[in-house]
Amino acid sequence: MSMQAILKAAIHILVSPLSLVSRVMIRLRLCGLNDDLLRCLAVVDTAPSIPNRFVVTLVTAEDHRSLIHPGVDPIAVLRVLLFWVRTGRVQGASTIEQQMVRVVLECYEKTLRRKLREQLVAVALSSKRSKTQIAKAYLGKAFYGSGQYGLSALTCACKPNLETTSQDSISRMVARLKYPEPLFPTTEWHQRVNGRVQYIAVRLRRIQPLALCRSLD
What pLDDT score was predicted for residue 15? 96
Q: What CATH class is the domain 3-216?
A: mainly alpha
Quick check: 139 pLDDT over 80? yes
**What integer pLDDT is reported at residue 217 of this predicted model?**
52
Q: Per-residue DSSP letters for 78-93? A: HHHHHHHHHHS-----
Identify which of 136, 173, 135, 167 has the alpha carbon closest to the alpha carbon of residue 154. 173
Residue 200 pLDDT level (bands cut at 50, 70, 90)? very high
The pLDDT-based confidence of 92 (bands split at 50, 70, 90) is: confident
Instruction: Please give the residue that has the higher pLDDT: either 199 or 217.
Output: 199
Instruction: Tell me the mean pLDDT in the region 36-60.
Output: 96
CA distance 74 to 4: 15
pLDDT for position 201: 95
What's the length of the chain? Answer: 217
Q: What is the pLDDT of residue 110?
A: 83
CA distances from 3 to 9, 10, 82, 88, 203 (A): 10, 10, 23, 32, 20
Using a pLDDT cut of 90, give the percent of the chain over it.
79
pLDDT digits (tens, 9 = 90+) for 102-124: 999 998 888 889 999 999 999 99
Q: How confident is the model at residue 89, as a pLDDT?
A: 75
Task: Give yes or no for residue 208 having a pLDDT over 70.
Answer: no
Domain spans in the chain, listed from the N-terminal domain onward: 3-216
Chain-centre distance for alpha carbon 145: 17
Secondary structure class of 54 (helix, strand, coil): helix
Q: What span, in angstroms and rounded, lies between the C-alpha atoms of 91 and 146? A: 23
pLDDT score, position 50:
96
Q: What's the whole-number average pLDDT of the chain?
A: 91
pTM over 0.75: yes
| pLDDT computed for residue 120 by the predictor | 97
